[in-house]
Amino acid sequence: MIYLVYFLLGAFVFFGARGCRKGEWNEEYTSLRQTKMLQGVMALGVAFHHMAQKTCAPWHQRIYIVPGLDFFVPLGYLFVAVFLFCSGFGLYKSRKTKPDYLNSFVRRRILPMVAAFYISEVIHLLVRLAMGQKMDAAQILWYLSGLQMANPNAWYVIVIPFFYLAFYLAFRFCRREGAAIAWVFAFTLAYTLLGACIDHQSVWWMRGEWWYNSILLFPLGLVFGKYERQVTAFFRKGYWFWLVLSFAALLGLYYVSTLATDQWWGYYGDGWDRLKILHRLGSAASQWLVCVAFVAFLFLFMMKVKIGNRLMGVLGGVTLEFYLIHGIFVELFGYNFMDICKSVIYIKYVPLYVLVVLACSIPATALFHLILKHLPLSRKARQARKA
Q: CA torsion sign, 75 to 258 to 84 to 224?
A: negative
* Residue at 61 is within a domain: yes
Q: Are 4 and 351 in contact (CB under 8 A)?
A: yes
Q: What are phi and psi of 216, to 5 degrees?
A: -60, -20
Beta bridge partners of 191: none
Alpha-carbon span 27 to 306, nearest angstrom? 9
CB 289 within 8 A of CB 257: yes
Partner residues linked to 337 by β-bridges: 341
**Contact (Cβ atoms closer than 8 angstroms) between residue 26 and residue 34:** yes
123 occurs within a structural domain: yes
Does any domain span residue 352? yes
Q: What is the DSSP letter of 211?
A: G
What pLDDT score was predicted for residue 119? 95
Cβ-Cβ contacts under 8 Å for 90 (sequence gap 6 or more) = 32, 35, 221, 225
* Single-letter code of the amino acid located at 9: L
Domain that holds residue 180: 2-11+24-386
29 inside domain: yes
∠318-320-323 over CA atoms, to 5°? 105
Low-confidence ranges of the chain (pLDDT < 70): 1, 271-272, 377-387
Gap between the Cα atoms of 209 and 221, Å rounded: 21
pLDDT at 386: 47
Q: Does residue 16 fall inside a structural domain?
A: no
DSSP states along 113-132: HHHHHHHHHHHHHHHHHHTT
Q: Is 18 helix (H, G, I), strand (E, B) or coil?
A: strand
Judge contact between 1 and 351, C-beta under 8 A. Answer: yes
Chain centroid to CA 141: 27
Domain count, the chain: 1
Within-domain flag for 237: yes
pLDDT of residue 325: 96
Nearest alpha carbon to residue 54 among 368, 373, 326: 326
Question: Does residue 317 belong to any structural domain of this protein?
Answer: yes
Within-domain flag for 18: no
- Over residues 111-134, the pLDDT tens digits come to 999 999 999 999 999 999 999 889
Predicted local confidence at residue 3, as pLDDT: 79
pLDDT score for 361: 97
List, for residues 282-306, the tens digit of each pLDDT value. Answer: 999 999 999 999 999 999 999 999 9
Residue 271 is predicted with a pLDDT of 66
